[in-house]
Structure 1
């Protein structure tokens, strides 16, 4: 079980002081959070992608490359890579380079993005969001797996004799998670390819999360990748901890009440009851997080959003210290009763080993897991 944190890189005024951090401060804060995450023993640091104020992560690979140079162990991921508005050729290049820089400590989460104006800024139409996600990812997979690509599709100019440079490290592309809150088509896409499915799990009731994850699991099994309970699942989550639960509620309330996303709506108590947000003591965070497994089954990755809504860096670092304290208990709790056949989250080392086995077992050009063409059912452009 992997544990980590993610940031969306928002630049939000602290409602208790009226101070708004600069872009420079927030960029440096992301680096500080990543290095702190490794220090306390977390497995993953993930960074969002946004191209509009009030966010800063418009170039995730630049920032993650800097973090790679400052860390040794932690996996560097994206909390969203916009598969819809980014050119898949550039995604393939950028993340291949990052993979080499980080010695394989890289995966990425693909998403459609939920900011409408971004689409026309990059020459796209938000009404094509799902189609763009399907076609662009089909091309991205080929770019990472085939030495020469000839391709023609609907949304970009054709490719003739294109060879990716550099090639993925050890010939193995970064592992891909498909992130979605509400789109069953994305759960189906993840299941078809046998990739991971990540549900953000911070704004909706757990009943909705359970439905989306169960859909992905059923389709994963349908497409021949293995039993449903072996599908690769990740969840988001968010908390605010203090030793005393009353202190946590009192301190976090003004940040919640004024947060750009959920402020001025349901009360903190209502939102906490309806979603996985946990504001309270470390023990309450432990119990709430461990309960996620009751809803979605054994899963592979748990990421927490901790640095949003204007929380100052010093406070966020304190949150990470508390997370580090309860991390062994969380690991132990998720390990108890976990069936032996449920896989761990993929790493570069495990993917390299699987690739070597698959190259012997499956003919060239067929899917590593099922032994059939990845285009057999999807009908993607080739």
Structure 2
């Protein structure tokens, strides 16, 4: 199978790690069961040929992924090809030193199959739990990320900021794999400052995309692309964009709607709000046949341009593990192969592929000859 790097786009899934009652069975998994199910879902994602597994970070019930790198490190040991990421790592309430350490270790554990999406978080109580003030969310994001970049790129860091204690003579251990920091995506739902930060540094921008209409996502992506070009990183079309999506599929679309409706109606995030029909009409949520998912997903390019990463949410709202694994079978066998082929049609040659550790090595000039990881699928 061709690697995601060769084809230009990565396809995968992301999880928010919610522990939600199954409204059709009246049962709720334990935290242990939900974590083990997440591991099974990640393994299945690799088995069906997906490229990326990403986990959210939450520190409050009913969610379990409070330690994403622990979870991803475990998955790294159970997979060989899957690229491991987050959706998102909280740059505001996590200490940048700890983020730098954790993801450097994950790089080494996974053989370079790691990147991360940074976000500021949208759960207010988390800030004081970690000694921060939500009113400082944007300044924390900017200051913490500035320090994080230096920690990964400088052997000895002397640093002084306004919102964190200073550092003197600090050296990160371990250093990033091959001296190349993991690629950073900045994830946002509604924050223009995050798009601006991504553009400033020439990093990727990931639009969550699952709760808002296409017009909102379009405006955020266009802002990022314009500012990416403004800062001299390339043309707007060369900016690195990722999108979220949300699907539930059966081969008969009516069966999909009937089966998913009770989960939608009772979901913690959007249950007891707009109808399923209204939500699918207004947002990227697709409930129907594989062909309908393919058609709607291909339509994302009409307002986001050619982009590099597409992640789907398939495992929330109390859906049982068996059903989620069935969704992954359909994604891997019937949906993603078509999307790979169709998204490649007409893709301009100067639109960069999705970044990987290997491509970042090449960009640095280290990729011309043999590499210890060349027989690893991620290194293709």
Q: What is the CA distance between 1:17 and its match in structure 2?
A: 1.0
Distance 2:61 2:205 in 1: 28
Superimposed CA distance per residue, residues 148-179 of structure 1 (whole angstroms, 9 cap, x where no aligned partner): 00000011110000000000000000000000
Is 1:340 the counterpart of 2:343 in the alignment?
no
Distance 2:207 2:58 in 1: 18
Is 1:252 the counterpart of 2:260 in the alignment?
yes
Name 1:230's counterpart in structure 2. 238
Name 1:137's counterpart in structure 2. 145
Name 2:156's counterpart in structure 1. 148
Superimposed CA distance per residue, residues 320-365 of structure 1 (whole angstroms, 9 cap, x where no aligned partner): 000012211110110010001101010000101112379xxxxxxx
Distance 2:280 2:43 in 1: 29
Between Structure 1 and Structure 2, how many residues are aligned? 358
Unaligned ranges ≥5, structure 2: 1-8, 368-380
Q: Given the alignment, which residue of 218, 242, 255 partners 2:226? A: 218
Name 1:380's counterpart in structure 2. none
Q: Supply the RMSD in Å over aligned alpha carbons.
A: 0.9
Name 2:330's counterpart in structure 1. 322
Name 1:169's counterpart in structure 2. 177
Q: Given the alignment, which residue of 361, 364, 369 partners 1:352? A: 361
The 5 Å alignment of 1:39-58 reads 39-58=47-66
Q: Given the alignment, which residue of 184, 201, 209 partners 1:201? A: 209
Tell which deviates more after alignment, 326-335 or 252-261: 326-335
1:18 partner SS: coil
Distance 2:70 2:274 in 1: 37
Name 2:370's counterpart in structure 1. none
Unaligned ranges ≥5, structure 1: 359-382
The 5 Å alignment of 1:95-134 reads 95-134=103-142
Normalised to the residue count of structure 2, the TM-score between the two structures is: 0.93
Name 1:293's counterpart in structure 2. 301
Q: What is the CA distance between 1:93 and its match in structure 2?
A: 0.4
Distance 1:278 1:177 in 2: 25
Name 1:372's counterpart in structure 2. none
